[in-house]
Amino acid sequence: MDVTKITSPQILKKMSTEELEALSADIRQFLIEKLSKTGGHIGPNLGVVELTIALHKVFDSPKDKLLWDVGHQSYVHKILTGRACEFDTLRQYKGLCGFPKMIESEHDVWETGHSSTSLSAAMGMVAARDIKGTKEHVIPIIGDGALTGGMALEALNHIGHEKKNMIVILNDNEMSIAPNVGALHSVLGRLRTAGKYNWVKDELEMLLKKIPAVGGKLASTAERIKDSVKYLLVSGMFFEELGFTYLGPIDGHNYQELFENLQYAKKTEGPVIVHVITKKGKGFKPAELDKVGTWHGTGPYKIETGDLIKPVNAPPAWSSVISETVRKVAREDERVVAITPAMPVGSKLEGFASEFPERMYDVGIAEQHATTMAAGLATQKMKPFLAIYSTFLQRAYDQVVHDICRPNLNVFIGIDRSGLVGEDGETHQGVFDIAFLRHLPNLVLMMPKDENEGQHMVHTSLTYDDGPIALRFPRGNGLGVKMDEELKQIPIGSWEVLKEGSDAAILTFGTTIPMALEAAELLEKEDVSVKVINARFIKPMDEGMLHSLLEDCMPLLTIEEAVLQGGFGSAVLEFANDYGYASPIKRMGIPDRFIEHGSVKALLEEIGLTTPEVVRTIKTIARRKQKRA
């Protein structure tokens, strides 16, 4: 079947199981071909083909609400709701979003990108439904990895207490991005091996009913036997103790099992958990065999071999530079401990974990716990390295404020994916961390100009003893600069002049330094002399250099790949205001809106963060030279 011809999930209603199985194969082939060119989350989507088709056949979207937790497994949902013809633009600038998007379709009822949110949102929708007196079904689909998130557990507790009608689909593929960890993952493991305990329980009940009842004693004994079998089959009966009816585990690739259990769930009063076992990457061998998360989300790849298409002789990834430097320091300092919230692969910590397994903790999708655990380590004079993406650090803001900065603990936060990340879009752009960290007392915040300076900043961070320190670094690869063999400390709060100039100065750091240098060279040809400063410490700033610039009435331009409101440029303006300086100061950065998906280059052009715009802006503020006689 040509899946680009699908305009609505209504097409599924009259299809036979055989036709649905054929459609499943067509969708898998479509995804494998399209994602080989655009990249994307191929593993999660290949695993939910039958599950997504079954949900759309049994339920009536958009009247019935399907909420995809995290949302990176919603590609099949997009195909069934009429968007297959747009897949050539998936995750491309102005193209199809890689996550659910309300403005894309009425079938996208919840926007996600961070995990563990669907159950709380579903509870809100259920509450609204019951207040309004309508009858639609609300069906959150959550993975076993996302279920370990604290927010999901809070929601389970509340939903079970309220006893509202809700059907929770637990999509259990034994992985999230990396292999799952934690006690709840072990509970699910026991459930997987327990088989269909509901079927056994019902069979036992029928058998007991055939025994002639002699008074109430035998009846109560029978009930106790039934309960004992339940606890024998599934250790702890985790979900039923929380107030849910548990169905499963069922084969998520078997239509008959899916239909039977989903129909049963529709008729059940109160909250239901349908535990579905799926195979991540099903139908594409490289993704099926992946055990570490390589095929969770990829760039383009070769269908025939499964080889990922990567630049030849590319510089090392930023994540590798930072994590390997931490590993190097850890060889000399036994106090260094690495912590990550479910991102050991993305943060390139596999090498550290292999060499120092007793000093490496993957805590699962639990950013708040990871952050306060790092604080706890710091109270015992350890040197914790918290490896976390900028977009996920947002989820642990209170812990950074209350548990790290307030008691002034020596925690080193490695803020990965800082700045624009491109194709993952607005839920993942790492552009807010400066604004939500800069105002915190005791915190040092910095960003290197290249990977060599980055390794020295890691060394500086792990030898720093005066409180919390955070290092921002971007997604992607370094610049390919020569790396010093010996690590050295960089004085806290020190800036670096990269190019001298007298007519204006550019203050910037990280990924925007090449732009500033290029603009300065172009301006030099027009007889405009521009000083370029590597403002590598965002907090504390180099106040001595700032005083020198402002006392000289030097016009300043700040550039940052981060939000302008509350950002680095704001800090410079505050400094100038506090000391009464009147130099012209302009700012360039991310405007006050969410930045959608697309290549970083396209996004920078859209918001005007480009070399020509730097040149134009400098011309508006540069000191005018006196006309020669």
| Residues belonging to the active site | 280, 367, 395
Determine contact, residues 543/494, Cβ cutoff 8 Å: no
Continuous H helices in 236-366: 238-241, 255-267, 285-288, 318-332, 350-355
The DSSP element (H or E) to which 336 belongs, if any, is strand 336-340
Residues 87 and 301: their CA atoms lie apart, in Å, by 16
Determine contact, residues 112/425, Cβ cutoff 8 Å: no
Tokens of 39: 């990249």
Residues 450 and 479: their CA atoms lie apart, in Å, by 6
Q: Residue 335 to residues 379, 411, 458, 465: CA-CA distances in angstroms?
A: 12, 12, 15, 13
Specify the DSSP class assigned to residue 40. Answer: B
Strand segments (E) across 480-546: 496-499, 504-508, 530-534, 537-539
Candidates 144, 232, 231; CA nearest to 183 is 144
Residues 108 and 62: their CA atoms lie apart, in Å, by 8
Q: If DSSP codes are grouped into helix, strand and coil, which group holds residue 616?
A: helix
CA 101 to chain CA centroid, nearest Å: 16
Residues 118 and 112: their CA atoms lie apart, in Å, by 8
Candidates 408, 406, 367; CA nearest to 390 is 367
- Kindly report the length of the chain: 629
174: left (phi over 0), alpha (psi -120 to 50) or beta: left
Residues 60 and 107: their CA atoms lie apart, in Å, by 10
Determine contact, residues 243/138, Cβ cutoff 8 Å: no
One-letter amino acid for residue 67 of the chain: L
Determine contact, residues 610/604, Cβ cutoff 8 Å: yes
At residue 571's C-alpha, the angle toward residues 430 and 625, to 5°, is: 110
Residues 441 and 437: their CA atoms lie apart, in Å, by 9
Phi, psi of 480 (to 5 degrees): 85, 25
Determine contact, residues 256/17, Cβ cutoff 8 Å: yes
Q: At what angle do helices 255-267 and 49-58 cross, to 10 degrees?
A: 40
Strand segments (E) across 432-543: 444-446, 469-472, 496-499, 504-508, 530-534, 537-539
Candidates 434, 466, 471; CA nearest to 449 is 471
Candidates 557, 504, 554; CA nearest to 526 is 504
Specify the DSSP class assigned to residue 484. Answer: P
Determine contact, residues 441/537, Cβ cutoff 8 Å: no
Determine contact, residues 578/570, Cβ cutoff 8 Å: no
Please tell me whether the peptide bond between 468 and the residue prior to it is cis, using omega within 30 degrees of 0. no
Residues 159 and 169: their CA atoms lie apart, in Å, by 14
List % helix, strand, coil for the chain (3-state, nearest 5): 45, 15, 40
